[in-house]
Amino acid sequence: RKPVTIPQFKKMKKEGTPIAFLTAYDYPSAQLAEEAGVDGILIGDSLGNVVLGYDSTLPVTLDDMIHHTKAVTRGAKIPFVITDMPFLTYHGSIDETMRNVGRVMREGLCKGVKMEGGAEIAATVEACVRAGVPVMGHIGLTPQAVHQIGGYRIQGKDSPGAQKLLEDALALEKAGAFAIVLELVTEEVARMITSRLSIPTIGIGAGTGCDGQILVFHDILNYGADIRPKKFVKTYTDIGSSIRQGIRQYVDEVKTGQFPREEHSFKGNNEAVAYLYG
């Protein structure tokens, strides 16, 4: 397979081929997502919730994002890999924003960035795109604004709200965004916005009418002890339970002397050591 490109995303929208994005945060998950055939990977600032154990995305730093982006781009070469610009790293001067975006791209080696917001960040998006940085927009529920919104709730439910979302989407498209995430918006609104744009919409909790989907790695695999079931998520496998079960058995076998056994032991055999650390 050849690396996925932005022109392909536009083509996929035109031809009605759904686009599959998934988040990833480290080397093994990126490798597995690539092998499984995702079109794009987002190093989401959901990193804060599912990997770092914070209760929102606000504490995530630019250095956190860069650190994890480096790992992901070492693991995945085919999917289009983009990184979330974290809280307050793209709201100062254009100079400061460009410096931050530059660090993410140069050090993380991703192919683009995602930013939360609509018309109010259009000038910022435009500056990035003019500099050659692909930008994915993100409207609807924008978790970095959770304290302003007052919770994680469905957006654009009334007609002024839906109108505002459409205006934001059009502003992002005009600014040069290559795609837009629609998070937690009603199916009707997402479908309406999707039909009005030439760039793909990537839905999360946005129903069946988007050009593509994105979900959080840990959500679809139930990876973690406190992953909560969500209406818009489907759990495809339960690695949380497999991991717990595997670790339990390991601890049990160590405690009862069943592990390690003869076959796991070295007996002055340097060849075996060389093989292991090869």
| Residue among 199, 198, 245 nearest 222 (CA) | 245
Q: What is the DSSP letter of 151?
A: S
| Residue with tokens 């154990």, as numbered in its chain | 53
Site string for ligand KIV, 28-47 (x = CB under 6 A): --------------x-xxx-
Cα–Cα distance for residue pair 137/126, rounded to 1 Å: 11
Between 104 and 204, name the residue whose CB sits nearer to ligand KIV: 204
Residue number closest to ligand KIV, CB atom: 44
Catalytic residue among 34, 167, 183, 271: 183
Nearer to ligand KIV among residue 153 and residue 244 (C-beta): 153
- Residue 171 binds which entry of Na ion, ligand KIV, none, CB below 5-8 Å type-dependent: none
84 binds ligand KIV (CB under 6 A): yes
The answer to whether 253 is a known catalytic residue is no
> 22 or 127, CB closer to ligand KIV?
22
186 binds, among Na ion, ligand KIV, none (CB under 5 to 8 A by kind): none
Length of the chain equals 278
As beta bridge partners, residue 155 has 185
Q: Which residues bind Na ion (CB under 5 A)?
A: 44-45, 84
Q: Is 79 in the site for ligand KIV (CB under 6 A)?
A: no
- Binding to ligand KIV (CB under 6 A) within 197-236 occurs at 204, 214, 216
Helix H, strand E, coil C: the string for 40-97 is EEEECCCHHHHCCCCCCCCCCCHHHHHHHHHHHHHHCCCCEEEEECCCCCCCCCHHHH
Sign of CA dihedral 144, 148, 153, 154: negative
Q: Catalytic residues, which ones?
A: 183
The site for ligand KIV (CB under 6 A) is made up of: 23, 42, 44-46, 84, 181, 183, 204, 214, 216
